[in-house]
């Protein structure tokens, strides 16, 4: 079967065989350049694993057809969403495993398989989930733009060939390519044999081809490139960095280092040339240091308002594969790599000697610390050590023998924790039993380490509904992705999940069943191509949860058949409320109560239930649609017994309806000869049902082995039954108002602004130096007990460097949760840890705006020459004031020791008007709102 096959799925082998075959392929397949792997939506794959692990062919977790819908931005272009995360949004499976899954389960119609190639990148093999997607055009016709995808291993010549073919450029024409990285900047692609990766060509950029004129000249409009900025003259160091595609994290870190005076002066004076270490096996042959020096010299030349750090980005990708490509990364991680890389490239120690470390053995701390620092400098001696390295004092105490071990360890930066709140704010939708109530969005405070029962308890205080009458579910793509039990941890629920809490009816019997109800729309035509005569269906609206008695549920399994589940329009609630609010599709009448019909002119067909034809009622199709607007979640019955209200009186049939009736009569089989004509007419008028009821699995697909309208009795007896109300498309269009169905109201808790937590930097430092017990995964070997112990550990700051870097650990990762802490850390512009030389002034801040999966990095920095603060947002640079710097976006802080700082050599420009330049140049700002910070005067551009 080919990857594009759309035929029906083959009968799969047993579940254990499926599991074993796929797991074996995932375990044994290695990445080989050129091989194909496939992208599969994570939730579908997890549901498949749950299905095969359950060991039951009729399990409710049957995943259905492979469905990658959630990976696409839209289902027209099938363009992959940006920043999808492996093993969170998708999984990668080798080609053989993909073909097996496709043969067993099939794929949702019209979806393309997401085939991706393995590429051989520097130092790593990688499945290229996101090929580089660029725009191509000719200089002579810039409006005719086409989109094309290329691998990062493709060379520029392959792009040139593709453009010549696409634009019918005559063979033999002399041409050259330009890469357009912004509205005004173009850069020549000189070496056509370089790879896409090495040129830093990224998605969203435009490649322009120009051909030589007949007179031998080239078009002149492209000469306004980044290579021609000699006429610009500005303040050295006040220079933006072009975003190459999700590289704001790199730009933020570079701006902070660029405004670190001792390091920048070291490179501007070319001192690094004498100290490049080309033989250090831990280094990068001096290439990182040279690339960094090139960027710094351009930024401080005063000739550029923005620099394109392509060569630097390429070098970083060569030596640190985690920074390959154009995914978003962490500015602190890049900073850590860069400081280490610069140190090894500039290490003055050519041959590192082996040094045996000695224990303190009761010696004075001062003596042990000096020995540790000497040993460190014997192996590590560079401008990075001179500027950024300090010493920790680490004290370990054995809990058994009380052995005390004191060591002094070097550090390059401090990673300090933020106080973590023990509470969590969650937003959920509450679905009441009140048939006229819309879902209500609530904001509740729950214990961060709590259980689902804690969520119900918190919601109970707002709704007055007992928590025992609540059930919590994750709704995804119109179905229940997961229904939680009370004792499950809240850490299983992510902030981005759509959580619904349903109120359940109180039943006296102990033997109860939770019934899940889906809404589906039938297609107009039977799906003969799938090998069955059933209708195709599509889920819509919000699903429901009902509490029913098990005996009634079993009766439903025995009695519900297609002939008895076809409800007429007149059997549904018109619910003509004055506010025209949407009402839910009524759940199935489990007890089969006779609908209340009190209108004298309503015709009924009083056939016995033994007959094969359904009970019939006169056509109510002329009822105004806004008087009967069932929705997916607004109306719930107090229990599973539903009294269906009478329909509106019939009216004259339209010509269209008469024509439909004629067609239906012509297509209908001949009635039994003994059937009375009047009865036939009455029954025929109700031939078209509003909806039917089907037993389905948790994925919302009809159980295998049951025909249209069939009920799988063993399925209904399961602990968690699922049914679907299948709407006739014409009836849905007439009676279902999708706009009303999607509406909800906000509880007053949503209007209360969340309190912004504020902590002092000193609190974070104290938390960093607090005594802690080692984790089981990282014990300490006690030399006295001769075994590993969970010792207590305390860190103290012994000696501080000239430039102190403080990393605020905003990103919290545990075994179960991942979150970003948005607390405001009040950090001073002048930091004192006692008498000089422990007094520091703030010189730069790396900021992160956004959450875990996306966001934007910027930076504040003080220019060493004029003492003015600036805000750097990629290529944009603006003036900043000191009261704008402290925000909840602060992520990495740079402090310079006061006794090492020099006074600015130029006047502070903020006292006078800023020069008027282009949109990318400096603009004067007067906004003093510290809460808004940079966002108040800079248009944020999320990567």
Q: Dump the DSSP string for 471-506.
A: EEEEEETTEEEEEE-TTSBGGGS-TTS-EEEEE---
Centroid of chain to Cα 859: 24
pLDDT at position 853: 66
Q: How many other C-beta atoms are found inside a 10 Å radius of the C-beta of residue 805?
A: 26
Residue 529 DSSP one-character state: G
Alpha-carbon distance values, 897 to 110, 836, 869 (Å): 63, 9, 18
Mean pLDDT score, 55-74? 81
Q: Are residues 106 and 149 in the same domain?
A: no
* Distance (Å, whole) CA 548 – CA 508: 11
Note the pTM of the prediction, 2 decimals. Answer: 0.62
* Distance (Å, whole) CA 611 – CA 358: 95
- Short-list 179, 239, 237, CA closest to 203: 179
**8 A C-beta contact, residue 479 and residue 537:** no
In degrees and rounded to multiples of 5, residue 107 shows phi and psi of -135, 150
466 versus 533: the higher-pLDDT residue is 466
Number of domains in the chain: 2
Q: Are residues 182 and 140 in the same domain?
A: yes
Q: Are residues 94 and 46 in the same domain?
A: yes
Structure-token pair, residue 190: 């000189």
Here the CATH number for the domain that contains residue 37 is 3.30.2230.10
pLDDT tens for each residue of 351-410: 888 888 787 788 899 999 999 999 999 999 999 999 999 999 999 999 999 999 999 999
- Short-list 634, 639, 633, CA closest to 514: 639
Q: Across the chain, what does the average pLDDT equal?
A: 77
**8 A C-beta contact, residue 819 and residue 877:** no
Q: Are residues 33 and 113 in the same domain?
A: yes
740 versus 583: the higher-pLDDT residue is 740
Domain endpoint, select from 211, 233, 263: 211
Q: How many other C-beta atoms are found inside a 10 Å radius of the C-beta of residue 447?
A: 13
Mean pLDDT score, 448-475? 92
Q: Among 83-97, 390-404, 603-617, 843-857, which is the least confidently predicted range?
A: 603-617
pLDDT at position 582: 40
Q: Are residues 82 and 139 in the same domain?
A: no
Structure-token pair, residue 686: 């109700």
* Distance (Å, whole) CA 328 – CA 782: 42
Residue 1 has pLDDT above 70, yes or no: no
**8 A C-beta contact, residue 549 and residue 511:** yes
Residue 743 lies in a domain: no
Q: Are residues 196 and 137 in the same domain?
A: yes
3-state percent breakdown (helix, strand, coil) of the chain, nearest 5: 25, 25, 50
Within 353-451, where are the H helices? 365-379, 383-388
pLDDT tens for each residue of 585-642: 444 443 333 333 233 333 333 333 333 333 333 333 333 333 333 443 433 433 333 3
Domain endpoint, select from 70, 88, 119: 119
Q: Are residues 109 and 33 in the same domain?
A: yes
Residue 461 lies in a domain: no
Element (DSSP H or E) covering residue 95: helix 95-105
Q: Among 32-46, 466-480, 542-556, 870-884, which is the least confidently predicted range?
A: 542-556
Residues classed as catalytic = 248, 856
SS3 string of 310-351? HHHHHHHHHHCHHHCCCCCCCHHHHHHHHHHHHHHHCCCCCC
Mean pLDDT score, 651-661? 48
Question: Does residue 837 have a cis bond before it (omega within 30 degrees)?
Answer: yes
Q: Are residues 205 and 136 in the same domain?
A: yes
Q: Among 38-47, 865-874, 902-911, which is the least confidently predicted range?
A: 902-911
| Percentage of residues of the chain with pLDDT beyond 70 | 73
Mean pLDDT score, 578-590? 40
Centroid of chain to Cα 194: 33
* Distance (Å, whole) CA 562 – CA 244: 60
Rg, Å, the chain Cα set: 35
Beta strand 423-431 with 499-503: parallel, antiparallel or unpaired?
A: parallel
Binned at pLDDT 50, 70 and 90, residue 216 comes out as confident
Q: Are residues 189 and 144 in the same domain?
A: yes
678 versus 177: the higher-pLDDT residue is 177
Write out the E strands in 690-777: 691-696, 722-727, 745-746, 758-760, 772-773
pLDDT at position 354: 87
Q: Among 1-10, 162-171, 408-417, 865-874, which is the least confidently predicted range?
A: 1-10
pLDDT at position 14: 87
Residue 199 lies in a domain: yes
Here the CATH number for the domain that contains residue 207 is 3.10.20.90
Residue 5 has pLDDT above 60, yes or no: no
Residue 207 lies in a domain: yes
- Short-list 624, 727, 617, CA closest to 679: 617
Residue 507 has pLDDT above 60, yes or no: yes
In degrees and rounded to multiples of 5, residue 685 shows phi and psi of -65, -20
Domain endpoint, select from 169, 189, 211: 211
Cα distance between the two ends of the chain: 40
* Distance (Å, whole) CA 715 – CA 56: 11
Q: Are residues 71 and 141 in the same domain?
A: no
Residue 926 has pLDDT above 90, yes or no: no
SS3 string of 234-282? CCCCCCEECCCCCCHHHHHHHHHHHCCHHHHHHHHCCHHHHCCCCCCCC
Binned at pLDDT 50, 70 and 90, residue 740 comes out as confident
Residue 768, judged by CB atoms within 10 A of its CB (0-12, 13-18, 19+), counts as middle
Residue 392 DSSP one-character state: E
Question: Does residue 640 have a cis bond before it (omega within 30 degrees)?
Answer: no
Q: Are residues 72 and 140 in the same domain?
A: no
In degrees and rounded to multiples of 5, residue 262 shows phi and psi of -65, -35
Alpha-carbon distance values, 912 to 563, 583, 861, 870, 915 (Å): 85, 65, 19, 15, 9
| Percentage of residues of the chain with pLDDT beyond 90 | 38
434 versus 664: the higher-pLDDT residue is 434
562 versus 780: the higher-pLDDT residue is 780
Q: Are residues 33 and 110 in the same domain?
A: yes
Element (DSSP H or E) covering residue 53: helix 42-54
**8 A C-beta contact, residue 830 and residue 824:** no
Checking 1-6 for CB contacts under 8 A at 24+ apart, the result is 1/99, 1/102, 1/103, 3/38, 3/98, 3/99, 3/102, 3/113, 3/115, 4/112, 4/113, 5/102, 5/107, 6/106, 6/107, 6/109
Residue 302 lies in a domain: no
Domain containing 139 equals: 132-211
Mean pLDDT score, 519-543? 71
Q: How many other C-beta atoms are found inside a 10 Å radius of the C-beta of residue 368?
A: 20
Mean pLDDT score, 901-929? 52
Residue 506 lies in a domain: no
Residue 166 lies in a domain: yes
Residue 65 lies in a domain: yes
Centroid of chain to Cα 560: 42
Residue 690 has pLDDT above 60, yes or no: yes
pLDDT tens for each residue of 240-294: 998 887 889 999 999 999 999 999 999 999 999 999 999 899 999 899 999 999 9
215 versus 320: the higher-pLDDT residue is 320
């Amino acid at each position: 079967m080919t990857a594009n096959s759309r035929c029906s799925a083959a009968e799969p082998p047993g579940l254990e065989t499926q599991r074993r075959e796929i797991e074996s392929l995932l375990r044994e397949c290695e990445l080989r350049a050129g091989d194909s792997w496939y992208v599969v939506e994570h939730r579908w794959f997890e549901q498949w694993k749950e299905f095969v692990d359950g060991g039951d062919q009729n399990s409710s977790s049957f995943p259905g057809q492979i469905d990658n819908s959630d990976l696409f931005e839209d289902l027209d272009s099938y363009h992959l969403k940006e920043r999808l995360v492996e093993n969170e949004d998708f999984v990668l499976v080798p080609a053989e495993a993909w073909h097996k899954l496709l043969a067993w389960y099939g794929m949702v119609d019209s979806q393309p398989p997401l085939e991706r190639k393995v590429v051989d990148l520097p130092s790593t093999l990688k499945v290229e989930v996101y090929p580089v997607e660029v725009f191509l055009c000719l200089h002579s016709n810039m409006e005719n733009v086409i989109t094309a995808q290329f691998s990062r291993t493709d060379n520029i010549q392959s792009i040139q060939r593709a453009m010549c073919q696409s634009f019918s450029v005559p063979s033999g024409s002399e041409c050259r390519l330009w890469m357009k990285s912004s509205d005004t900047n173009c850069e020549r692609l000189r070496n056509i044999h370089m790879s896409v990766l090495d040129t830093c060509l990224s998605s969203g950029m435009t490649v322009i081809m120009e051909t030589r004129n007949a007179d031998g000249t080239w078009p002149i409009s492209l000469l306004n490139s980044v290579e021609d900025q000699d006429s610009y003259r500005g303040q050295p160091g006040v220079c933006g960095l072009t975003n190459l595609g999700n590289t704001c994290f790199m730009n933020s870190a570079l701006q902070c280092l660029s405004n670190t005076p001792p390091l920048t002066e070291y490179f501007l004076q070319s001192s690094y040339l004498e100290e490049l270490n080309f033989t250090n096996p831990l280094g990068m042959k001096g290439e990182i240091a040279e690339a960094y020096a090139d960027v710094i010299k351009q930024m401080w030349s005063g000739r550029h308002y923005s620099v394109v750090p392509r060569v630097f980005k390429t070098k970083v990708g060569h030596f640190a594969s985690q920074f390959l490509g154009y995914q978003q990364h962490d500015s602190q991680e890049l900073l850590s790599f860069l400081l280490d890389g610069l140190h090894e490239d500039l290490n003055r120690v050519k041959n590192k000697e082996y040094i045996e470390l000695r224990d303190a053995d009761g010696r004075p701390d001062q003596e042990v610390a000096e020995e540790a620092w000497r040993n460190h400098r014997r192996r590590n001696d560079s401008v990075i050590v001179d500027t950024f390295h300090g010493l920790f004092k680490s004290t370990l105490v054995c809990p058994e023998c009380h052995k005390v071990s004191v060591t002094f360890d070097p550090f390059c930066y401090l990673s300090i924790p933020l106080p973590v709140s023990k509470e969590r704010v969650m937003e959920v939708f509450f679905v009441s039993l009140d048939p006229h109530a819309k879902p209500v969005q609530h904001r509740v405070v729950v214990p961060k380490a709590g259980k689902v029962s804690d969520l119900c308890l918190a919601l109970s205080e707002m709704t007055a509904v007992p928590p025992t009458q609540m059930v919590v579910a994750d709704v995804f793509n119109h179905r229940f992705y997961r229904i939680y039990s009370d004792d499950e941890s809240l850490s299983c629920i992510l902030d981005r999940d759509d959580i619904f809490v349903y109120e359940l009816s109180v039943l006296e019997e102990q033997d109860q069943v939770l019934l899940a109800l889906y809404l589906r729309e039938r297609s107009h035509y039977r799906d003969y191509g799938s090998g069955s005569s059933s209708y195709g269906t599509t889920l819509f609206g919000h699903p429901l949860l009902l509490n029913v008695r098990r005996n009634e549920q079993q009766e439903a399994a025995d009695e519900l058949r297609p002939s008895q589940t076809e409800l007429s329009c007149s059997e549904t609630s018109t619910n003509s409320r004055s506010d025209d609010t949407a009402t839910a599709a009524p759940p199935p009448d489990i007890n089969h109560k006779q609908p209340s019909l009190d209108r004298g002119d309503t015709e009924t067909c009083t056939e016995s239930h033994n007959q094969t034809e359904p009970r019939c009622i006169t056509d109510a199709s002329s009822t105004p649609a806004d008087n009967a607007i069932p929705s997916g979640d607004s109306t719930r019955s107090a229990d599973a017994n539903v009294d269906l209200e009478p329909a509106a009186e019939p009216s004259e049939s339209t010509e269209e309806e008469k024509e439909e009736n004629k067609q239906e009569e012509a297509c209908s089989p001949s009635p039994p000869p003994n059937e009375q004509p009047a009865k036939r007419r009455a029954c025929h008028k109700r031939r078209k049902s509003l909806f039917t009821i089907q037993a389905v699995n948790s994925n919302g697909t009809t159980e295998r082995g049951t025909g249209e309208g069939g009920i799988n009795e063993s399925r209904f007896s399961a602990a968690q039954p699922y049914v679907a109300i299948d709407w006739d498309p014409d009836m849905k269009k007439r009676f279902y108002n999708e706009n009303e169905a999607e509406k909800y109201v906000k509880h007053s808790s949503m209007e209360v602004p969340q309190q912004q937590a504020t902590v002092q930097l000193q609190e974070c430092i104290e938390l960093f130096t607090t005594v802690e017990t080692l984790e089981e995964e990282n014990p300490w070997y006690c030399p006295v007990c001769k075994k590993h112990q969970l010792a207590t550990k305390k860190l103290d700051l012994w000696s501080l460097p000239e430039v102190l870097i403080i990393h605020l650990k905003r990103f919290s990762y545990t075994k179960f949760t991942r979150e970003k802490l948005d607390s405001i850390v009040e950090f001073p512009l002048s930091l004192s840890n006692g008498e000089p030389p422990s007094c520091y002034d703030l010189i730069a801040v790396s900021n992160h705006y956004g959450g875990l999966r996306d966001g934007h990095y910027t930076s504040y920095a003080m220019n060493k020459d004029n003492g003015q603060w600036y805000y750097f947002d990629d290529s944009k640079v603006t003036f900043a004031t000191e009261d704008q710097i402290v925000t909840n976006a602060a992520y990495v802080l740079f402090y310079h020791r006061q006794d090492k700082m020099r006074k600015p050599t130029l006047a502070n420009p903020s006292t006078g008007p800023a020069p008027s330049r282009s949109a990318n140049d400096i603009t004067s700002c007067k906004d003093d709102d510290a809460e808004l910070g940079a966002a108040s005067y800079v248009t944020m551009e999320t990567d």
